[in-house]
Amino acid sequence: MDIKTVGIVGAGQMGNGIAHVFALAGFDVLLNDITQGALDNAVGLIDRNLERQVARGKITEDERKAALGRIRTTLKLADLGQTDLVIEAATERETVKQAIFEDLLPHLKPTTILTSNTSSISITRLASRTDRPEKFMGFHFMNPVPVMQLVELIRGIATDDPTYKALLKVVEKLGKTAASAEDFPAFIVNRILMPMINEAVYTLYEGVGSVKSIDESLKLGANHPMGPLELADFIGLDTCLAIMNVLHDGLADTKYRPCPLLTKYVEAGWLGRKTQRGFYDYRGEVPVPTR
Ligand SMILES: NC(=O)c1ccc[n+]([C@@H]2O[C@H](COP(=O)([O-])OP(=O)(O)OC[C@H]3O[C@@H](n4cnc5c(N)ncnc54)[C@H](O)[C@@H]3O)[C@@H](O)[C@H]2O)c1
């Protein structure tokens, strides 16, 4: 399986980062979202991020131009049908992902590998509703994609060896490192990371500490580069809540119950950096804690 063209569904923070690294590594990229605005924002952001890499001497101006030239956008999901690899990176909701696969499958060539960047949803279940469970995998990039080295590879129960090996080769071509995870809720990184973030929200909810003291404690006391609440805002509080719900439902253990305060922020539409407000308010010069 020689993968040259890549279709990406969802041009949010993950989709644009994934498009960025694939284009830089020489793949032809076709990026899809539901609004032209989302696609324009994504391309603008990729351009600015590539410029930053040029300014830091990480890539040349010619590489920036070539990478941008390899990215095309489309509002029609069907256009992704002829690509060799599809990466679904839309909103973390199973019904959304399922609907995307249903719409895409009739247009997809038989050899295309289908993947999801889901942070937590069962790969086996997503795969079972497609026509190609053996060519379906979890392909979990970390945020921000151009910076983070790890990619989790998650095989569903039916994923075949050629598909797994093809994705290992892709990760190598991207210059990243693959870690294999079994298909259980939230895989490895988020199984460990998300309960920690949820516990930080409980710590805030119960008044043990303020936003500032909780983040500072983990940065200075546990040597974390970012505080857990700052990190939650960065990931997106809707995504954090969705992952906690998958852990809670999938493992049927009350230790994973999402903190009511996390739910409240999501209900308010305070989703973190992407909406300018979460545990911090990002609308001014410097982030200000909201509690
Ligand atoms: N945020 C993180 O740190 C992170 C890290 C790893 C993986 N993920 C996973 O990546 C996926 C995307 O997360 P994100 O943070 O980029 O979310 P996001 O909210 O930034 O972007 C989601 C995008 O999907 C688009 N979308 C929704 N429905 C669509 C459809 N039917 N067709 C095409 N596009 C559609 C939205 O318009 C939006 O642009 C999720 O599955 C999430 O769990 C997120």
Structure confidence by residue, pLDDT tens digits, 42-56: 999 999 999 999 999
67 Cβ contact list (under 8 Å, min separation 6) = 20, 23, 24, 46, 50, 59
Catalytic annotation on 119? yes
What single-letter DSSP state applies at residue 158? T
38 Cβ contact list (under 8 Å, min separation 6) = 11, 12
Q: For residue 1, what pLDDT is reported?
A: 72
Could you say which of 88, 152, 198, 230 is catalytic? 152
Single-letter amino acid, residue 203: T
Q: What is the pLDDT of residues 89-133, one digit of tens each?
A: 999 999 999 999 999 999 999 999 999 999 989 999 999 999 999
> What is the β-pairing status of strands 280-281 and 288-289?
antiparallel
* 121: its two tokens: 């949803």
Q: What is the pLDDT of residues 167-219, one digit of tens each?
A: 999 999 999 999 999 999 999 999 999 999 999 999 999 999 999 999 999 99
Question: How close is the Cα of 87 to the center of ligand 1, in Å?
Answer: 11
Could you say which of 119, 120, 122, 198 is catalytic? 119
Q: For residue 188, what pLDDT is reported?
A: 96
Q: Residues lining ligand 1, CB < 6 A?
A: 9-15, 32-34, 38, 89-92, 96, 100, 117-119, 140-143, 235-236, 239, 274
